[in-house]
Amino acid sequence: MSTAEPWDVIVAGAGLAGLVAARDLAEQGLSVAVFEARDRVGGRTWSRAFPGTGTIVDLGAEWVAPGHHAALMAEYDRYGIGLRPEADGGSGGSERIWLFGDEKAVGELPLDAGERAAFDAFLEALAAEAEMLAGESAFASRLEMEVPFAERLVDLPPRAAQVLASLATAVMGAPATEVSVVGLLDDMTDLGVPELPDEEGSEGFAGSAQRRVEGGVMQLADRIAESFEAKLHLGTPIAGVAQDADGVQVTLADGTVQRARALVCAVPVNTLADMDFHPELPRDVALLAEQKHVGQAVKVLARVAGVPDDMALSMWPPALTGAIGIGPAAPGSDDALVICFGLPGSFDPNDLDALTAQLRRAYPEARVLDVAYHDWNADPYAQGAWFAPKSGHWPLLAAFGEPYGRVVFAGSDISPTSLGYMDGAVVSGQAAAERTRAMLDA
């Protein structure tokens, strides 16, 4: 079964990149259909009320750097979406606790003078490499950048190496033994030198205060989807894409065939291999789709009694890679909402007693009462968290910006700026719409 009349453009995926591309194309008078495998829009953004509190929390992407994420901020301004106050992370005054094995330190970074000097020198060297990377063309890198981050740490004092590995793991959402140095360098080209995690939010970068969105980040996807004329099909996975000089033929999972003059493919890189493409994907695109990026952070929202609502905890070796309080669980509540981060297998989000035991290493009165989370790694339509490259992945990304017949790629995973961030999704969606329109006009 197929449509009688082809669309101008089909968009695969209703995350931010796909929705922005669809809106921009529809606003130019093109007929657009969006097919999304999930029963909702938003992709790896997902906001919902924490059970029993009514407080909106974000299970996926969450933080915004207003001074750097210009495209995303323009979208928030367009739809009247506001950011939470800078100091909304809790009551204030708590010092960060550091756990390294059985050792515990409060406040300052637990390094002696020699270790701190090595730590600072390492970050200065990274900053110089990031500046070098910023001067290259998109997705260009040098051989010395294409190594696992952990390999760079072997000559450092052990404690300094532990802190840096913990920082890289938190920033990239991937083990320091797997993620490539170039992934962290790219973040630095956009946001500056990594800083120690702060008490108000996520891991930080110099000069890039991270903020949260009032009412949750998913409302942007909802507002975009409501703002333009396009046919939105939810719960409709795409099984295959065939193309010729005249257009594309998209086969849905139920066997239905849809036709269009062009396709914007805005699905996560780690899911591409589940779609059957004819002709075959370009070599570098297919290779990255097969190997998959290594971003695999586990993010759990927990309602916790017995801890400050602005608690801040860093751990190495990680059971949790860290935990931060983002305020009371509900107005007037003595319980805190705490975001816990880790890696697959490091802790069980459903085991409240085990999670309590981890937090009690720093806060003896802690008691986890409830949790909310989504397993992005097991989600068939994500198969991972935010983009984190392995060694050798970086140069492959350039192929996603090259012509592939009537198919144009989009997504935060492949954006040449703000890679892995919501801002990158917006930038990529805008660029995909421009490339698609130019192709149709040619």
Radius of gyration of the chain (CA): 22
Q: Which residue has the tokens 């453009």?
A: 9
Q: What are the helix and strand counts (H, E) for the chain?
A: 9, 19
Q: What are phi and psi of 352, to 5 degrees?
A: -65, -35
Sorted by sequence, the CB contacts under 8 Å of residue 169 that are 6+ apart come out as 175, 176, 179, 318, 321, 343
Structure tokens belonging to residue 260:
């269009």
Asked whether residue 229 is marked as a ligand-binding residue, the answer is: no
CA 330 vs CA 20, 54, 67: distances in Å:
33, 7, 29
Residue 119 CB contacts under 8 Å (≥ 6 apart), including other chains: 109, 111, 156, 160, 163, 164
Is 160 marked as a binding-site residue?
no
Q: With residue 194 as reference, give the H or E element that holds it.
A: strand 194-195
Consecutive H or E run containing 426: helix 422-441
Look at phi and psi of residue 383 and say left if phi exceeds 0, alpha if psi is from -120 to 50, else beta: left
Residue 107 to residue 185: CA distance in whole angstroms: 27
- Sign of the four-CA dihedral 400, 401, 402, 403: positive
**Annotated binding-site members:** 36-37
- Residues forming the annotated binding site for FAD? 36-37
